[in-house]
Amino acid sequence: MNTLDVKLRLNNLHCFEEGDGIGSAEPYLWTVFFKIDGDTARVSPALALTGTATVRSTPGNQGDLPNHDVDPGENVPVPAAIGEFRTRLKPIPLEQPVGGVEEVGGVVGVIAVLMEEDNTPNSAIAKGHAALDKAVRESLDALVPTLNFAHQEPTDAEIEQMKARIGAAVTKAVKDDVSVWEWLGGFGNMDDRIGSEVFRFSHKELERAGAGGLEIRKRFKNEGDWELQGRVTASPVSTAVGRLQVTLRGIPAAAAVVPVRVTGPGFSKSVGRSTTLTDLPPGTYTITARTFTTGLPGKPTCRFHTPDLPTQQRTVAVGQTASVSVSYTSEPCGA
């Protein structure tokens, strides 16, 4: 099973019928992306899934889509800030292999809530969005312990139950922040939920789909007739890579410097602390360490820091970890 580079993209909202009565519709979109994979989850010796989900919330409330006056037949592009999630989906390891099986697949997805703006105060909508993020995280973390080696993915019924819990939390948060005076001032015309959906994709589905990926398409026939569109693609992370362990000594912990630069085949990065660089193409890497000063010039705190080896080279091989170390010594600036 491969580690996958995943791009999940909701890119368009099509309006068949806006359904807002007099005037045009003003849709907006909430999204919460998630994954459950080897980054934060494991399968225990009891064959139960342990760990937590990775959840990424997005900005945006009323007015987060570029068209605020939507008529039938129009397409509304979804900005990448709220519609795109790029991540690496890693197989979930078994702490104790079973019959030669050492890992199981993960899952990646997005929860989308499509709303139509009326007169709900923006502060209440913001609280609803925050409640959505919190409810998604709590619901997914509660779901993880219910999964196991024989039940690796949630059923449709479990997803529907999760949607109901999340929806109730959002509705309560919005209602709790809307006063009777605001409700009357808006003639009781609060923002409407056009629809919501959980789009989820398993490791196996993504691998089977290949480079073309899978289409995302959901039609909501509520408060008009709308369709949310997108695509998820995944590609195996190259296994023909290596690692470089960089150990730095003598750099003050409080120093805001990145004096060491690592360059190689299609790669360049500056570092200021010990680290291990991963997924490096094989080849020769040059490690360049520069001098730097700390403290204020002309003051007793000023010190001049010098690397023991200004330039080094290391060869990174496939599946191997090369190592390099740089040690700094210091002396007073006026020495």
Task: At 69, give phi and psi (nearest 5°).
Answer: -150, 70
Which pLDDT value is given to residue 168?
A: 75
Tell me the per-residue pLDDT of 252-271, one tens digit each, with 9 for 90 and over.
988 889 999 999 998 999 99
- Enumerate the β-bridge partners of residue 121: none
Q: Please give the torsion angle defined by the CA atoms of residues 136, 138, 143 and 144, in that order, rounded to the nearest 10 degrees.
A: 110
**227 in Cβ contact with 14 (< 8 Å):** yes
How many degrees, rounded to 5, is the angle at CA 281 between CA 279 and CA 284? 125
Tell me: the pLDDT tens digits for 281-294? 999 999 999 999 99
In this predicted model, what pLDDT tens digit does every residue of 171-211 receive, in sequence order? Answer: 676 656 544 343 334 334 445 678 888 899 999 999 999 88
Sequence length of the chain is 335
The CATH code belonging to domain 242-330 is: 2.60.40
Q: What is the pLDDT of residue 158?
A: 78
Extract the tokens encoding 229: 């569109």
Is pLDDT at 163 greater than 60 in this prediction?
yes
The model scores a pTM over 0.85: no
Residues 301/272, Cβ–Cβ less than 8 Å:
no
Q: Percent of the chain having pLDDT more than 70?
A: 91
The average confidence (pLDDT) of the chain is 85
Measured distance CA(37)–CA(24) in Å, rounded? 42
Sheet holding 292-294, edge to edge: 275-280, 242-249, 321-332, 303-307, 292-294
**pLDDT band at 136; cut points 50, 70, 90:** confident
The predicted-structure confidence for 236-253, as pLDDT tens digits, reads as follows: 887 788 999 999 999 998
> What are the start and end residues of each CATH 2.60.40 domain in the chain?
242-330
pLDDT above 80 (res 123)? no
